[in-house]
């Protein structure tokens, strides 16, 4: 990766001199003279944080076609035992052009940067957000600017800070992070992640925390190959967009999706005993989506798990916490992979790919299994099969 810090007034001159020095031998002295004025540096691939050379020094090496090879003694003296990290290797024009075309490098030399907004929460709740940021930085190969935001954040001040730092894309994590983007300039693209979005009416681009039904159903069929139907109770105001995706996903897996509508808690409580009582425990499974109307935690969930246990009808969920309470299996975000995927979208925006982005369900997932529930339903998973799951409950 090439990392440049060049002030705005000199960036164009430095870039022109760079191309002239590479493209024409007679322009090299003039290019070096212009570059010598810049207080900038370049780190070439393989160079460590301390291995900095002025632009003119690097250009002199490129023009000569080779880099003077320092002695092993000198390298060890300057960089210790890990001396190879400081040695700037020769780089061809084609290699340099390839590096300059990389979206993350374009971001660092003037096409815009990536910023992350995340909720300013207590320490025990931060790991999910820090893991997503880790994935973003792993994908971009750059340190991104991260801003913890409070519910009463000064939007105007935040917007000014982002503009001053050349922000092109904001990745908003959590509902608090998303809310903080409400007053940002329209020139700043917002991608959302780590938010439980239940409706496409929110008109945002990014990745919901709602697991993709296609991934859920594929795991279901692998675990229960004789299954034929998936039953779900949902509120159209909350989950209509998800059920549309689920119908296609079920069809692709050779399953039938049987969806029952409940617009309030009372209707959901009435429906669940009926649909579970009518289900075939060898052919049917009940799906609990992220739907606050039909999957209410204090009343509905205990009711569903009790009916499931008594009837033998398997219940699987979009919420991993339900596995601890007795659901057969569920899926949870892989936060680092989610960060990488969000970063790829952000780099695409910076590169100007023009791709239309919308809300998508989460595909970067991990799976949890409840062995006690599985055994109760006649599903005995050996040690090798258990290794296919990221989390196993009850924990040994």
pLDDT of residue 12: 38
Coil, helix or strand at residue 369: strand
Does residue 324 share a domain with residue 386? yes
| pLDDT of 30 strictly over 60 | no
Q: What tens digit of pLDDT does each residue of 200-218 get?
A: 666 789 999 999 999 999 9
Does residue 191 share a domain with residue 219? no
Does residue 22 share a domain with residue 92? yes
| pLDDT of 72 strictly over 50 | yes
- Cα dihedral 28, 108, 134, 1, rounded to 10, equals -10
Does an H or E element contain 335, and which?
Answer: helix 335-351
Could you tell me how many helices (H) and strands (E) the chain has, helices first?
17, 16
CB within 8 A of 321, min separation 6: which ones? 330
In a domain, residue 297? The reply is yes
- Burial status of residue 42 (CB atoms within 10 A of its CB: 0-12, 13-18, 19 or more): buried
- Burial status of residue 382 (CB atoms within 10 A of its CB: 0-12, 13-18, 19 or more): exposed
Does residue 280 share a domain with residue 380? yes
| pLDDT of 396 strictly over 90 | no
Does residue 48 share a domain with residue 186? no
Better-scored residue on pLDDT, 143 or 292: 292
Domain membership of residue 176 as a residue range? 109-210+341-348
| pLDDT of 43 strictly over 50 | no
In a domain, residue 130? The reply is yes
Does residue 186 share a domain with residue 281? no
Mean pLDDT value across residues 351-355: 80
In a domain, residue 356? The reply is no
Pairing of strands 205-211, 359-362: parallel
Mean pLDDT value across residues 225-240: 94
CA distance 219 to 322: 16
In a domain, residue 284? The reply is yes
Give Cα separations from 132 to 5, 137, 174, 297, 312 (angstroms): 26, 9, 11, 27, 37
């Amino acid at each position: 990766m090439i990392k440049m810090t060049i002030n705005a007034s000199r960036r164009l001159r430095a870039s022109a001199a760079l191309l002239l020095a590479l493209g024409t031998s007679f322009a090299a002295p003039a290019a070096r003279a212009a570059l010598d004025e810049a207080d900038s540096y370049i780190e070439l691939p393989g160079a460590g944080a301390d291995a900095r050379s002025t632009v003119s020094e690097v250009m002199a090496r490129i023009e000569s076609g080779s880099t003077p090879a320092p002695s092993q003694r000198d390298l060890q003296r300057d960089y210790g035992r890990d001396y190879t990290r400081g040695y700037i290797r020769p780089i061809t024009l084609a290699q340099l052009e390839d590096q300059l075309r990389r979206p993350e490098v374009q971001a660092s030399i003037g096409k815009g940067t990536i910023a992350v907004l995340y909720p300013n929460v207590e320490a025990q709740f931060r790991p999910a957000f820090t893991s997503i940021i880790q994935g973003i930085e792993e994908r971009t190969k750059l340190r991104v600017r991260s801003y913890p935001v409070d519910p009463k954040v000064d939007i105007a001040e935040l917007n000014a800070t982002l503009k001053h730092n050349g922000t092109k894309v904001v990745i908003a994590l959590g509902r608090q992070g998303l809310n903080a983007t409400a007053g940002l300039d329209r020139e700043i693209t917002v991608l959302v992640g780590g938010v439980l979005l239940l409706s496409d009416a929110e008109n945002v681009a990014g990745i919901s925390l709602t697991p993709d039904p296609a991934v859920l159903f594929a795991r279901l069929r692998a675990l229960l190959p004789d299954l034929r139907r998936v039953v779900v109770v949902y509120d159209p105001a909350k989950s209509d967009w998800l059920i549309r995706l689920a119908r296609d996903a079920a069809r692709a897996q050779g399953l039938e999706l049987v969806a029952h509508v409940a617009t309030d808690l009372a209707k959901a409580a009435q429906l669940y005993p009926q649909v579970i009582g009518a289900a075939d425990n060898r052919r049917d499974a009940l799906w609990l989506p992220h739907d606050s109307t039909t999957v209410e935690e204090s009343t509905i969930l205990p009711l569903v798990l009790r009916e499931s246990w008594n009837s033998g009808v398997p219940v699987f969920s979009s919420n991993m916490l339900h596995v601890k309470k007795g659901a057969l299996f569920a899926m949870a975000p892989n936060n680092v992979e989610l960060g990488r995927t969000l970063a790829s979208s952000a780099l695409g925006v910076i590169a100007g790919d023009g791709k239309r982005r919308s809300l998508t369900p989460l595909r970067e997932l991990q799976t949890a299994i409840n062995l006690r529930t599985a055994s109760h339903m006649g599903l005995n998973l050996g040690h090798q099969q258990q290794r296919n799951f990221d989390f196993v409950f009850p924990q040994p």
